[in-house]
Amino acid sequence: MSHETPEPGITRRQSLKWLAAVTAAVTTPLITGCEATVIKAAKLAGNWPDLQLQPITAEGYGTDPTLNPPVQAPWPLTMTPHQRKLATAILDLMIPREGDFPSASEAGVVDLVDEWVSAPYPEQQETRPEILSALVWFDEESQRRTGQSFLATSAQQQRAILDDVAYEEAESKLQYAYISRVFDGLRSLAAIAYFSSPEGVKDMGYVGNVPIAGDYPGPSPEAMTHLDGVLNDLGLLDYAYQEPVSG
């Protein structure tokens, strides 16, 4: 492909990175062995629920769906009410309401996660047991710590669990190695879904996708000033781009 302009939304690279991370990169300094052994040990140490699920058999949208206006995903949503409630709680901790900007669930992120785990395509099917197992893990971890389900426990306790799994350091602790990877994947999915929602686009500050009459205006004066500062810092001012003179 000659153009390197991926569409917005979830790129293949992004989601594959996640999967690779979950299945292959669970390596901790505490244990050595082949990939399968490490993953097994991490799952065991982390009380990973490891749900075994029936494959989704619904149809995809096919190779010629209507793009304008786009059609809804034809496959049925499959998350249970309890799974959706749990997902709402966790995703809203990840992306809470912030001033005028909505929370994850308000921005449709839970719906997207449900659509994602219910989709018949291989990539989604591979992440489905990871995401749904993670929901169970949060519930069980809460039980282990507080004797209460994740939804019933206090906001403080909920955060305490997230604090243990949401940072890179968690990967080096065997008991959190697996969940922290899945959490990272879920967080990427949530962030992508949120920031590509109409409100999330504003939150990010993106100002494009609006028609402009006449010539493209180019960088703003502030952006050019900033660029000059960067070129100066990097010792590149002497090499600043000059428009070609010929023709």
Partner 1 sequence: MSDQAYDVVVVGSGAGGAMAAHTLTKLGKRVLMLEAGRDYDPVTETPMFNSPADAPLRGAPTPDKNFGYYDATVDGGWEVPGEPYTMADNTEFKWWRARMLGGRTNHWGRYSLRFSHHDFKGFSRDGFGADWPFEYDELAPWYDRTEELVGVCGTNTGLDDMPDSSPDILMPPPKPRVPELLVAAAAGKLGIPAAPMHRAILTRPKDDRAACFWATQCGRGCSIGAAFQTTTSLIPMAKATGLLTVQTDAMVRSVEVDAQGRAEAVTYIDRKTGAPRTVAAPVVVLAASACESARILLNSKSEQHPQGLANRSGQVGRNLMDSTGANMSAVIPALKGRPIYNEDGHTANHLFLPWWGHDMQARGELDFARGYHFEMSTGFKPPGGYYPEKLQGYGVEMKRRARFDYGSQISLALRGEMVPNADCYMEIDDAVTDRWGIPVAKFHWKWSEQELNQVRHGLATARDIFKLLGADVPDELPDPAEAIKKGGEIIHEVGTTRMGTSPKDSVTNQWGQAWDCDNLFVMDGGVFASNPHKNCTLTIMTLTMRNASWLAEQLNKGAIA
Ligand X SMILES: Cc1cc2nc3c(=O)[nH]c(=O)nc-3n(C[C@H](O)[C@H](O)[C@H](O)COP(=O)(O)OP(=O)(O)OC[C@H]3O[C@@H](n4cnc5c(N)ncnc54)[C@H](O)[C@@H]3O)c2cc1C
Angle among Cα 12, 17, 20 to the nearest 5 degrees reads 120
Q: What Cα–Cα distance (Å) separates residue 66 from each residue in 6, 61, 102, 116, 223?
A: 20, 9, 30, 20, 39
80 binds, among partner 1, ligand X, none (CB under 5 to 8 A by kind): none
Residues 16 and 123: beta-carbon distance below 8 Å: yes
Contact positions with partner 1 (CB under 8 A) in 187-216: 187-188, 191-193, 195-198, 200-201, 203-213, 215-216
- Of positions 123, 125, 136, 140, contacts partner 1 by CB under 8 A: 123
Instruction: Tell me the C-alpha distance between 187 and 189, whole Å.
Output: 5
Q: Are 187 and 134 in contact (CB under 8 A)?
A: no
User: Cα separation of 10 and 189, whole Å?
Assistant: 8
Give, as one character, the DSSP assignment of residue 103: P
Taking the complex as a whole, the smallest distance from the CB of residue 195 to partner 1 amounts, in Å, to 4
Separation of first and last alpha carbons in the chain: 30
Q: Pick out residues in 211-240 that bind partner 1 (CB under 8 A).
A: 211-213, 215-220, 222-224, 226-227, 230-231, 233-234, 236-237, 239-240
Taking the least distance from each CB to ligand X, the nearer of 2 and 242 is 2
**CB of 217 vs partner 1, minimal distance in Å:** 7
Residue 69: cis peptide before it, omega within 30 degrees of 0: yes
Q: Is the CB of residue 205 less than 8 Å from the CB of residue 42?
A: no
Q: Which of 57, 67, 81, 155 binds partner 1 (CB under 8 A)?
A: 67
Write down how long the chain is. 247
> Among 20, 44, 71, 77, which residue sits at the site for partner 1 (rule: CB under 8 A)?
71
180: contact with partner 1 by CB under 8 A = no
Binder to partner 1 among 33, 65, 76, 77 (CB under 8 A)? Answer: 65
Binding mask 148-187 for ligand X (x = CB under 6 A): ----------------------------------------
8 Å CB contact between 139 and 132? no
12 binds ligand X (CB under 6 A): no
User: How many Cβ atoms from other residues are within 10 Å of residue 234's Cβ?
Assistant: 9
Q: Give min distance, CB of 89 to partner 1, in A.
A: 12
* Closest residue to ligand X in the complex (CB): 2
**Residue 3 near ligand X by CB under 6 A:** yes
